[in-house]
Structure 1
Amino acid sequence: MMRPRLAAAALALALSPVSLSAQEQRPEGDPVIAVETTDARMNEATAEARATSAKWLAVVENPPVGATNITFKFPLEGYEHIWVLDVARDGEYVTGRLANNPHAEGWSYGDPVRVALSDISDWGYVDAVGKAHGYYTVRVMLDYMSEEQAAEVRRQYGFDD
C-alpha cells in the first residue's frame, strides 16, 4: 500500500512523548514540526544520536534505577520521525510501540514496530532526578517552536536555557 508523503523536502518530527500527555492524542496526528532534509543542525543531531546509540542501548538493556521514558525515534514510512516507547532490543533491531499519534496513513498510536538499529534517528531517556538524556533532535527543534512552547519543553526535559 502506498502511503502519502509530506512535502518532499521536509521531515515531520513529532514532539517527544515526554511533552504530550495521553489526553492530547489527536485522531488527525500529533503536532509536528517540518524540517528541511538539508537542515545541517538537524542532520548533525541525528548523526550525534546515531554515534552515541551504544550509550542508549546500555540503558535499554540495563535501565538505571529510576530511569523512565526510554525511547527512540525513527522515520516511519521514511519521512515522519516518530517516538517509540516500551523499548526492547532484539539483536540488530529494537521493538516497541508508537508513542505519538502518526500522520502516516494506516498507523495509530500504540502500534507495535520493529526497527533496525541503523534506522534510529534519535534516542532518549529521563533519569531518576528528571533530567533528559539524548533527545538531540528535540534540542534543535526548540528553535522552531514558539518561545512559550520551547520554554515548556525545556522545563519538562530539564534542559538548560
Structure 2
Amino acid sequence: MDKDILLTQLQRVPKHKKDILKNQFINKFIITDTEYYQNYVNVGDGYFLWCCFKHQGHLSTFSTNEFGSVLNSIDTKNVLLFWDYYISQDIMDLGRNELFHCSKQFLVNNLSAFPQDFYVFDETLKWVVISTHEQQNEHGDTGFVIKLE
C-alpha cells in the first residue's frame, strides 16, 4: 500500500455527490437489515461491506493477478472507489468515509498502492468489482465482480 498515492493523487468526490452515490451504491448492492451490517456501520474494524452483498446479477470470482484484466474488460474510462480494510485507523476511516474517483488505467497501474477490501464501480451502478483479503472459493480467488446486466 502507498499512503502517498492515496492521500495526494486520488481525487475526492465532493461531499454532496459522494453522499448520493454511496447511498445509491448501498441501496442497490447491500443488504442493510442485518446485525452484521449494523456492526459494520457502528463497530467498524473486523466487519466488511462485501459480506453484505445482495445475491443478484451475475457474480464471478477472480485472483488478485487478474484484477487488471477484469477491470479492463468493463466498458468505462473512470471509476469510483472506496475501501474498508484496517491498516491504520486513519486509512480505514478515509476509505470508509470518502469516495474517490480516478481513471480506470490509473487504478490498474497503481493497484498495489490500495488497501485490500476495496470496491470499484462507476456512476451507472451496473457493476462492482471487489478486492478482498479472504479467499472467496476453493481456488483461492480473492476478488469478485457483480454485473447486474
TM-score range, shorter chain: 0.3 to 0.5
Greater RCO, CA 8 A, separation 6+: 2
Whose strand proportion is higher, 1 or 2?
1
TM-score by length of 2: 0.33
Whose helix proportion is higher, 1 or 2?
2
TM-score by length of 1: 0.32
